[in-house]
Amino acid sequence: MRTVTILGATGSVGTSTLDLVEREPNLYRVRALTANCDVTKLAAAARRTHAELAVVADEACLPALRDALAGTATRATGGRAAVIAAAASGADWTMGAIVGCAGLEPVMAAIGQGGTVVLANKEPLVSAGEVILAAAAASGATLLPADSEHNAIFQCLDPAQVAQVRRIVLTASGGPFRDWSLADMANVTPAQAVAHPNWSMGAKISVDSATMMNKGLELIEAARLFPVDPDRIEIVIHPQSVIHSAVDYVDGSMLAQLGPSDMRVPIAHCLAWPQRMVTPMAPLDLIALGRLDFAAPDPVRFPALRLAREVLRAGGARPAILNAANEVAVAAFLAGRIGFLEIAAIVEHTLDSYDPPAPETLDAVIAVDARARIVAGARAEDRTA
């Protein structure tokens, strides 16, 4: 019996994780579930799983959560500190599925206690990769990647053969605007941007997929997680999202992981690791698929790819600035305040504005993140029609 905590339990990844956990009630017991303020969904999940603890990050939502959990044995708490405490409440297995750098401190708290920490939440790895890896090395925590590409690489990369890797092939669907002209992309609406062709995901990552900033963040994420020279990580467009990534070895063998575009596959890999578990997905039907296509990405229509490559080479504070500026710009786009192409422009402007020293502690990363949000926010304000 393993205890499980899900940070961001009401989101897309959180819901997929709960689905798997609830299929095996004899194997997993839920310690804590957290959300921002989706009380109805959080309380329903806590009731179904008999969770010990349910937490809302937004303290104003705590009274409603208490009401919704009346008569149950689930304890309800609220506020950012309560989320961080829940992350460190001793679960054997913790899923980090909060969106954005709001998940950084909770993930660090989970890592601090050791155990297995599964990272779907990629933004903290981008902004604070060195700090997170050092904390995991210090506590002995096992980090497992749930992002489908990184989970694929994890499955294909034999740690004993890292020196014989020729390149990592990071696949990208290309998003909903893969073949659109820049002129057409200038006018896309938030509703068009969040309608991903292959995956059903939260709003922020859906917009990131549309700008391809998601692949940029994943490039940095891959460089953090796998000890391979970043210049050996190649992005390849693969519209069907069947091959989730591949590792090409010096002898000419390329190992790829294939699967349906359902996050329950990589999450199940992390939940059962180092074993495997049965999942409800239909097996891949290669004959029905018929073909798989590949193409080179276009860094002109998708400048986020160029920006991510540049900040990865530069290192230091630059990935944290890129991520924070992107979070602000995506929120402004989703709120209808700026156009789609402004997202990458705001990120580039923020990167060009200043160049702080490399942050070496969690607090230093948080300070870099906070300042980038101010610079990006001011730029978004200027651009608001």
Binding site for ligand NAD (CB under 6 A): 8-14, 35-36, 38, 57, 83, 97-99, 102, 120-123, 147, 199, 201-202, 205, 263
DSSP sequence for 30-96: EEEEEESS-HHHHHHHHHHHT-SEEEESSGGGHHHHHHHTTTSS-EEEESHHHHHHHHTS--SEEEE
> Is 214 annotated as ligand-binding?
yes
CB of 251 vs ligand NAD, minimal distance in Å = 31
Residue number with CB closer to ligand NAD (79 or 187): 79
Residue number with CB closer to ligand NAD (201 or 366): 201
> Is 336 annotated as ligand-binding?
no
Q: Which residue has the tokens 């409800």?
A: 280
112: left (phi over 0), alpha (psi -120 to 50) or beta: alpha
Q: Where are the beta strands (DSSP E) in 93-154?
A: 93-96, 116-119, 142-145
87: tokens are 């992350």
Partner from Mg ion, ligand NAD, none contacting 320, C-beta within 5 to 8 A by type: none
Residue number with CB closer to Mg ion (45 or 305): 305
Residue number with CB closer to Mg ion (205 or 366): 205
> Is 262 annotated as ligand-binding?
no
Q: What angle do CA 158, 28, 96 make, to 5 degrees?
A: 60
Partner from ligand NAD, Mg ion, none contacting 198, C-beta within 5 to 8 A by type: none
Q: Residue 274: is the preceding peptide bond cis (ω within 30°)?
A: yes
> Is 209 annotated as ligand-binding?
yes
> Is 245 annotated as ligand-binding?
no
> Is 196 annotated as ligand-binding?
yes
| Residue nearest to Mg ion as judged by C-beta position | 147
Partner from ligand NAD, Mg ion, none contacting 97, C-beta within 5 to 8 A by type: ligand NAD
> Is 71 annotated as ligand-binding?
no
Positions in the binding site for Mg ion (CB under 5 A): 147-149
385: tokens are 């029609």
CB of 97 vs ligand NAD, minimal distance in Å = 5
383: tokens are 């651009």
Burial zone of 2 (CB within 10 Å; 0-12 exposed, 13-18 middle, 19+ buried): middle
Any idea of the CA torsion for 367, 372, 377, 382, to the nearest 10 degrees? 140
Q: Could you tell me which residues are annotated as the binding site? A: 10-13, 121-123, 147-149, 173, 196, 202, 209, 214-215, 218
Q: Could you tell me which residues are annotated as the binding site for 1-deoxy-D-xylulose 5-phosphate? A: 122, 148-149, 173, 196, 209, 214-215, 218
